[in-house]
Amino acid sequence: MSKQTLVQGTLLLILAGLITKVLGFINRMVMARIMGGEGVGLYMMAVPTFLLTITLTRLGLPVAISKLVAEADAQGDRKKIKRILVVSLAITGVLSIIFTTIMISAAPILANYFFTDRRTFYPLIAISPVIPIIAVSSVLRGYFQGLQNMRPSAYSQVIEQIVRITLVALLSSLFLPYGVEYAAAGAMISVILGEAASLLYMFSMFKMKKTMKVRKGFFNQLKGGKSTFKELLNIALPTTGSQLIGSVSYFFEPIVVARSLAIAGISTAVATSQYGELEGYVMPLLLLPTFITYSLSISLVPAISEANANKNFVLIEHRLNQALRLSLISGGIAVIVTYVFAVPIMDLMYDAPSSASYLKVMTPLFIFLYFQGPLQAVLQALDLAKAAMINSLIGAIVKLAAIFVIASRPEFGIMGAAIAIALGTVVVTLLHFATVVKAISYTIVIKDYIKGFLCIVVTALFAAFLYRYIFPMYSQLIGTLLCVSITTFFYLLCLFLFKLIKREDLGHFPIIKRWI
């Protein structure tokens, strides 16, 4: 089994995440051009229900599997690894059947009584069959991540997006003549086929790389897996609690937004379109750097679990510092680009320049989000998932309450929802950070943050100069690409000058190591 270091595994996931995000943006652009804001709105209203069902089905097992497999692998206990897989597959198999049935049964109730737009029924029904597929994939991902082999997870992400983007235009266009709700359902079907292709790849990699026969003695392993079941749930349930809070919050978000906009006097069709612009156009751009922080989070759980098992607290602090520094510098360039070039980006990508106002309001606060994933991963690895769950609950309450209070006011409308979502993100991140500091007596490397924010400010001023004086000299597409490229190069130069990208980070990679 090919095992990578923390930085190597993270880089592999980052590269896969970058490809996935680029393909995801193309996917969103295709949907926006075919279905418009209203169709994307219907799609995005169904997504939170789907994600909530997935959270309940997975039960937080990917993190638990990753942690327990990492610990068992460190001890050379292959039998325990097999037992972990057997018990996990049994749990997710049963839950996927239960929750798929519930989702299909609940779809008409949700569409008719909870959402203000009854057409959400069609995408809800269309996405239901994907639940068992994702459930099994999540077990295999947790297994590979626990062995610190990030290649299968990375490659499967890319495969899933390639299949999805290949089919989304075809299926949504095919169903569009019947109405935007059917086009949204077609887009959901492309998700199912993409996840199925991803699962086939993961399964083939497991068959090739496995050192055990899972089917042999499956039920005997299951009968003798009571202690493993308890171990999994001890980690998974608090983790699920945190994820569940996020999913429940996201589930209620379109409902609260729609109801609040109705109170503000905004019609159902307009509210659906505005929510589609906020969640379908703006949020993907704000979440762009999370492919880096997500990759860091996945790599951190087994790495810090291993260090914690060996009582190596110095290594834990070192890895956390490394992760947060990378989160800062990756989030920094995203904040600069999305804030300064908001209007041309939204116009080029979605033909919706008016949506840039949401982006400019949310971007400065969303830098907090980029720290949230690594911090939560550390809490999970240190068996502090319960604390992370409480922090997420507080943030969810703040977000939903703020949406209702602000978005229901006519002078704010959907902008109030944008502000509230950003506010909830800030609250959760600050609470996670306070919990980590208390748990490991974490020492903040203040100079790195000062230098990081200085790089961001200087680069932002440089980008504003380019936007004002260089951008108008070219067409919108050429001007945007040129200015963003120059800004990114300038930012990287600042990072090297301020030594925020360090020699030790690059030295983990053989190809780069030869040159340093």
pLDDT tens digits for 211-267?
656 556 555 656 666 777 788 878 777 667 767 787 888 888 888 998 899 899 988
Decide if 472 is inside a domain.
no
pLDDT on residue 460:
96
Q: Quote the number of domains for the chain.
A: 1
pLDDT digits (tens, 9 = 90+) for 382-428: 778 788 888 988 999 999 999 999 999 999 999 999 999 999 999 99
Decide if 336 is inside a domain.
yes
Angle between helices 290-309 and 369-381 (to 10 degrees): 20
- Give the domain range for residue 30: 6-444
Rounded Cα gap, residues 298 and 305, in angstroms = 12
Burial 500-513 (b: 16+ CB within 10 A, else e): beeeebeebeeeee
Reading the block at residue 220, the tokens are: 């005997």
Given a contact cutoff of 8 angstroms between Cβ atoms, the answer to whether 36 and 263 are in contact is: no
pLDDT on residue 239:
65
Count CB neighbours of 444 within 10 A.
11
As a whole number, mean pLDDT of residues 476-481 equals 94
pLDDT digits (tens, 9 = 90+) for 332-347: 999 999 999 999 999 9
Decide if 485 is inside a domain.
no
Decide if 36 is inside a domain.
yes
- The length of the chain is 516
